Amino acid sequence: MINGKRALTVRTARELGAAFGTSAEVWLNLEAQWRLLQSMPSVEAVERRARRMDDAKEAASQAALAR
């Protein structure tokens, strides 16, 4: 769980809530937010994709002009 290899279980969320004086929902919401963030592409990945698309459009334009 700490290394991000295991998901938080309901039981563990309850235990953490009891230990830290919070609710299990707090811990489960944190887990859900973490998973959502991990599933999003990085800014760098989005920028790389955008550059590839721009390069492809430029190549298509150049090919059309060469005809």
- Using one digit for the tens of pLDDT, what is the confidence trace for 11-55? 999 999 999 999 999 999 999 999 898 888 888 888 898 999 999
Q: 1 near 12, Cβ under 8 Å?
A: yes
Q: What is the pLDDT of residue 65?
A: 87
| Residue 9: predicted pLDDT | 94
Give the pLDDT confidence score for residue 17 in this predicted structure. Answer: 97
Residue scoring higher pLDDT (7 or 15): 15
Q: Is the pTM of this model over 0.75?
A: no
